Chain A
């Protein structure tokens, strides 16, 4: 077991190192360097050269990479080229926003998707199913930026129900924080809710026709009880799998949602840093995501191996 763990840890480390090189070289291959973006309309060759020298961009790429690794090993993520803010601080302030938004959206998506899915199954071939299907179709096919704009126009501009933008930290006032996050979270959740709804419906239909349900019904249990207690519970397995797969989509969806609602999140930071070629920020953001994925994968693999000894054997081989 220890050997398996070591192997997996080693593989993860290699993955992180390789991706750091890919990111580092990748951002430098984008046309237009930070000096051009930074100098903006006032760019002149002298100024560009001065900015490049100041940022160390005139040095050979392997020197830049060595410096990059060295500072990271010291826990220093550098400073934003554009604003001069320490990158560590930027990550610390933006990450909680996105995590809260994603968590809130996840809850909404699961509750909404499950409810609609169950309704669709329960009223198959009648108007509640068509309604639920319609909602799912709209959620899947209408882009979230458009839905977001519509929601702002309707709920913020015409009826002042929700604020059009803004963010209140959860630690400051949880109620106000949720109030500000509701509209963006719903918009972010809709596409995921649609997927959950379709999956729930399909799996419910399959489950409700299976033998054990028929047995339950034959034993005299009420339809409602069977549906909620056995049908839904069985379908949850599918839902959990789907939600797990869609988590990445939730994070990338946050990029759009955060921009529309002016949320100071991770997604908006990512987008801005790419547009302004803010190398240190892009590197930190992408590496953080990579490490996140690697850690989750590692945890899952280890868990599998604990649950299923056959995987461990394969790893040892």
Chain B
């Protein structure tokens, strides 16, 4: 399920401050002082307010210039139909606009479409109009037929990664020159959210006809910038597109995405000025960057999560019928609940991530429109009770469990912190560090007892729950199966009323927290380092760093 290894590779020792603080405290108290000092900062203090946008506002800008962005991973094929990398979305943001977009609050807004889809026939037919007078980078005009060509490719291409995001889509029609009508077998609530992601990126039909399967060699879409070239594993360059319909709001001449996978080297490049913006800053580098007078750090909570997947019944690979595994952890929901209660999530994010990440207990982010009291609930941290539950379950203590994790220093540090915490409740956690692709393979094939992984998150809650928690679903790595959860999540995915949907998700999560197929741990924040010479940058909760409207400030 995760597929995001922990960001940040810089090795950092666990804080040794705790004993020092205790000593300092004891000293000050014995001196009868009223002032207590503590270095243990609360999450809110350190992380502070979310910063989603650095607006241009009234500042004087200069047109032109080349912006270099440090990208933390190499995108995969620059093809909206087949891509499955988050970083491809970063690059596509400047050269491949979508039918819809997400705004700072996570709401869906029209981009190439003119309004949200209108639904009819009980939600089975969706219709929307698209902007007129828009041209692709190769000069081809954008019309409904082009949208149909793209969506058909997304739906039918054999290696499409989009087909599953389009629900039960059956018919795609151009019902007018600029009007598209989609017909579904069953109502599909997350449609607009899907079209605000890669499924909504419209490709030039002329380029598709010319390049076919090799569209990624020379991607052509509608966007403020157009593709120039890609140097393997090194950089991707885009330049201002004169055909863009809103060219007056485009200030830069060129953007170079430079791939720098090591987080401390990304930070160093920011400080030296070689890159002016970089994504996925490691929490351990944030304070250092903030202290630099030329830099600032944007932070936005993500819709994703990190957690521990417990293998309950995945014996023959994900997607096969569940086959119960015969260990106390797999068989007993109480034992899993005890494990969840043995983890002090607040302390975890403090000690491992300097408080820049947020504790999490559910797949639905508290900032989501679908968050409810039920989805925000957290099991109490109570190691004593956890131990009692283990004893009541008749488990011989200490209970040995193995946890696989990626072999990066920060993943290991997290695993060690968890290991130390759960020991108090009677768990003997053994850590198996595994190389990333191998870890994914073990996850798929069920070769694990527990795995520490996460999920990058989607705007619509369906994308964060359904495939992971319903029986036999494609990403249900735990082999979890609960009829009630299946029903609730299925009902939620076809309910279009926000309040009703939120309630259904709340009920499903309450059940999931009893069963704990995934023990949710924390939610990352998207930490983006930005030069103070730059404005017009935003990062929204979908995690994509938006730089197409960026500009350099005029000097002086």
Which residues on A are within 8 Å of B, measured CB to CB? 30-33, 36-48, 50-51, 53-54, 79-80, 82-85, 89-90, 93-94, 149, 152-153, 156-157, 160, 163-167, 259-260, 262-264, 268-269, 272, 275-277
Q: B79 an interface residue at 8 Å Cβ cutoff?
A: yes
Complex-state Cα separation, A48 to B475, whole angstroms: 11
Complex-state Cα separation, A149 to B9, whole angstroms: 13
Complex-state Cα separation, A152 to B265, whole angstroms: 8
Interface centre among B85, B230, B265 (most CB of A within 10 A): B265
New A-B contacts (17) at CB < 8 Å, excluding given A32-B441, A36-B441, A167-B234? A32-B435, A36-B440, A41-B456, A44-B164, A44-B318, A45-B319, A54-B159, A79-B214, A83-B230, A94-B232, A152-B268, A152-B272, A153-B268, A156-B274, A164-B268, A164-B269, A264-B235
- Nearest CB of B to A259, in Å: 7
Q: B271 an interface residue at 8 Å Cβ cutoff?
A: yes
Q: How many A-B residue pairs have CB under 8 A?
A: 158
Contact across chains for B444 and A48 when beta carbons are under 8 A apart: yes
- Nearest CB of A to B251, in Å: 23
- Which of B109-117, B256-264, B385-393, B514-522 participates in binding chain A? B256-264
- Nearest CB of A to B263, in Å: 12
Question: Quick one: which of B461-486 are within 8 Å of A by CB?
Answer: 467, 473-475
Q: B84 an interface residue at 8 Å Cβ cutoff?
A: yes
Contacts of A275 in B (CB 8 A): 436-437
Complex-state Cα separation, A85 to B275, whole angstroms: 25
- B232's contact among A165, A259, A263, A269, by CB below 8 Å, is which? A269
Q: B216 an interface residue at 8 Å Cβ cutoff?
A: yes
Contact across chains for A272 and B74 when beta carbons are under 8 A apart: yes
Contacts of A164 in B (CB 8 A): 265, 268-269, 272, 274
Give A162's nearest chain B residue, CB to CB: B272
Contact across chains for B164 and A269 when beta carbons are under 8 A apart: no
Give B79's nearest chain A residue, CB to CB: A84
- A262's contact among B84, B258, B444, by CB below 8 Å, is which? B258
Q: B33 an interface residue at 8 Å Cβ cutoff?
A: no
Complex-state Cα separation, A77 to B75, whole angstroms: 21
- Nearest CB of A to B5, in Å: 10
Give B233's nearest chain A residue, CB to CB: A272
Contacts of A268 in B (CB 8 A): 233-234
Assess A36 versus B437: contact at CB under 8 Å? Given A45-B317, A156-B274: yes
Assess A165 versus B233: contact at CB under 8 Å? Given A33-B441, A84-B77, A84-B214: no
- Nearest CB of A to B452, in Å: 14
Contacts of A85 in B (CB 8 A): 216-217, 230, 232
Complex-state Cα separation, A51 to B161, whole angstroms: 9
Contact across chains for A260 and B265 when beta carbons are under 8 A apart: yes
- Nearest CB of A to B447, in Å: 9
Contacts of A44 in B (CB 8 A): 164, 318-319, 467, 473-475
Q: B231 an interface residue at 8 Å Cβ cutoff?
A: yes
Q: B36 an interface residue at 8 Å Cβ cutoff?
A: no
Contacts of A53 in B (CB 8 A): 158-159
Contacts of A32 in B (CB 8 A): 435, 437-441
Complex-state Cα separation, A80 to B288, whole angstroms: 38
Question: Quick one: which of B244-291 are within 8 Å of A by CB?
Answer: 258-262, 264-265, 268-269, 271-275
Contacts of A82 in B (CB 8 A): 74, 76-77
Give A94's nearest chain B residue, CB to CB: B232
- Nearest CB of A to B46, in Å: 24
Complex-state Cα separation, A149 to B262, whole angstroms: 11
Interface centre among A152, A166, A259, A262 (most CB of B within 10 A): A262
Complex-state Cα separation, A276 to B4, whole angstroms: 14
- A41's contact among B3, B214, B264, B269, by CB below 8 Å, is which? B3
Q: B2 an interface residue at 8 Å Cβ cutoff?
A: yes
Complex-state Cα separation, A50 to B214, whole angstroms: 17
Complex-state Cα separation, A205 to B178, whole angstroms: 85
Q: How would residues 144 to 174 of chain B score, 1 for a CB under 8 Å from any chain A CB and 0 otherwise?
A: 0000000000000011110010000000000
Complex-state Cα separation, A30 to B437, whole angstroms: 10
Complex-state Cα separation, A260 to B262, whole angstroms: 8
Contact across chains for B455 and A41 when beta carbons are under 8 A apart: yes
Complex-state Cα separation, A182 to B258, whole angstroms: 19
Q: B330 an interface residue at 8 Å Cβ cutoff?
A: no
Contact across chains for A165 and B274 when beta carbons are under 8 A apart: yes
Contact across chains for A41 and B2 when beta carbons are under 8 A apart: yes
Assess A51 versus B159: contact at CB under 8 Å? Given A82-B77, A277-B437: yes
- Nearest CB of A to B153, in Å: 14
- Nearest CB of B to A158, in Å: 9
Contact across chains for A41 and B438 when beta carbons are under 8 A apart: no
Contact across chains for B76 and A83 when beta carbons are under 8 A apart: yes
Contacts of B213 in A (CB 8 A): 84
- Nearest CB of A to B271, in Å: 4
Contact across chains for B437 and A43 when beta carbons are under 8 A apart: no
Give B258's nearest chain A residue, CB to CB: A262
Contact across chains for A90 and B232 when beta carbons are under 8 A apart: yes
Contact across chains for B441 and A83 when beta carbons are under 8 A apart: no
Contact across chains for A38 and B76 when beta carbons are under 8 A apart: yes
Contact across chains for B84 and A39 when beta carbons are under 8 A apart: yes
Contact across chains for A165 and B273 when beta carbons are under 8 A apart: no
Complex-state Cα separation, A269 to B435, whole angstroms: 18
Interface centre among B77, B262, B273 (most CB of A within 10 A): B77
CB-defined A-B contacts under 8 Å, sample of 8:
A31-B442, A32-B440, A44-B474, A45-B317, A53-B158, A83-B78, A163-B272, A262-B260
Q: B1 an interface residue at 8 Å Cβ cutoff?
A: yes
Contacts of B271 in A (CB 8 A): 157
Complex-state Cα separation, A309 to B405, whole angstroms: 60
Contact across chains for B258 and A47 when beta carbons are under 8 A apart: no
Give A263's nearest chain B residue, CB to CB: B234
Complex-state Cα separation, A95 to B306, whole angstroms: 39
Assess A165 versus B265: contact at CB under 8 Å? Given A44-B164, A157-B271, A264-B233: yes
Contacts of A167 in B (CB 8 A): 234
Contact across chains for B261 and A259 when beta carbons are under 8 A apart: yes
Contact across chains for B216 and A83 when beta carbons are under 8 A apart: yes
Complex-state Cα separation, A306 to B315, whole angstroms: 64
Give B10's nearest chain A residue, CB to CB: A149
Contact across chains for B474 and A47 when beta carbons are under 8 A apart: yes
- Nearest CB of B to A100, in Å: 15
Contacts of A166 in B (CB 8 A): 258, 274
- A165's contact among B74, B79, B258, by CB below 8 Å, is which? B258
Complex-state Cα separation, A156 to B235, whole angstroms: 20
Assess A262 versus B259: contact at CB under 8 Å? Given A40-B3, A83-B76: yes
- B318's contact among A45, A89, A160, A277, by CB below 8 Å, is which? A45
Assess A157 versus B268: contact at CB under 8 Å? Given A41-B3, A47-B161, A90-B232: yes
Contacts of A277 in B (CB 8 A): 437
Complex-state Cα separation, A156 to B265, whole angstroms: 11
Contact across chains for B437 and A37 when beta carbons are under 8 A apart: yes
Complex-state Cα separation, A167 to B234, whole angstroms: 10
- 9 closest residue pairs by CB, A with B: A41-B3, A44-B474, A264-B234, A32-B437, A45-B319, A32-B441, A54-B159, A156-B272, A31-B438
Contact across chains for B274 and A163 when beta carbons are under 8 A apart: yes
Give A262's nearest chain B residue, CB to CB: B260
Contacts of B160 in A (CB 8 A): 50
Contact across chains for A269 and B274 when beta carbons are under 8 A apart: no
Give B256's nearest chain A residue, CB to CB: A166
Assess A40 versus B274: contact at CB under 8 Å? Given A53-B158, A165-B269: no
- Nearest CB of A to B439, in Å: 8
Contacts of B161 in A (CB 8 A): 39, 42, 47
Give A89's nearest chain B residue, CB to CB: B232
